[in-house]
């Protein structure tokens, strides 16, 4: 059965900022060169993308303002509090620091608070080691993933 997707292609996760200011997280199909730049600069009018929920999308390149890599943290970095190094656990409630009984409004507020705290642009003006910037980016990815899982 034809599903419209061919999973033998390499994909890379990215944050796409559109001209209307909306930011979407998708996985973009890479060309044979496996380079994101080649996917963005080829003659195709659309990017072949897959949303985190698995929905295939075709994003018009004319509506894209910017694209940033969304390197997903390694499994050994998924324990948000560092209590169990190496454990591939991911608790979205712990990432957002809310209880499992939190209301949708409390979850949204926690997401915005954590996203502001760990946003790379906030600390870009400081001269910090690359490892710190990598950690901040990984935390922001975890915060976005957590909100996608439990946010409304």
CA distances from 17 to 4, 22, 25 (A): 25, 6, 9
Tens-place pLDDT, residues 54-85:
789 899 999 999 988 776 554 344 444 445 44
42 and 62 co-located in one domain: yes
Report if residue 2 sits inside a domain: no
The pTM score is: 0.45
Number of domains in the chain: 2
Tens-place pLDDT, residues 22-60:
888 888 888 888 788 888 999 999 999 888 777 898 999
100 and 134 co-located in one domain: yes
54 and 89 co-located in one domain: no
For residue 59, what pLDDT is reported? 92
């Amino acid at each position: 059965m034809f599903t419209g997707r061919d999973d033998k292609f390499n994909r890379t996760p990215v944050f796409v900022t559109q001209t209307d200011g909306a930011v979407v997280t998708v996985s973009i199909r890479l060309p044979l060169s496996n380079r994101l730049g080649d996917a963005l600069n080829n003659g195709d009018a659309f990017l072949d993308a897959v949303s985190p929920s698995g929905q295939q999308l075709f994003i018009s390149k004319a509506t894209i303002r910017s694209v940033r890599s969304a390197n997903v943290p390694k499994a050994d970095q998924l324990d948000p509090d560092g209590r169990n190094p190496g454990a591939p656990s991911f608790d979205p409630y712990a990432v957002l620091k809310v209880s499992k009984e939190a209301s949708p409004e409390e979850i949204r507020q926690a997401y915005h608070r954590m996203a502001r705290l760990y946003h790379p642009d906030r600390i870009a003006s400081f001269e910090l080691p690359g490892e710190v910037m990598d950690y901040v980016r990984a935390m922001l990815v975890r915060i976005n993933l957590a909100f996608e899982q439990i946010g409304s």
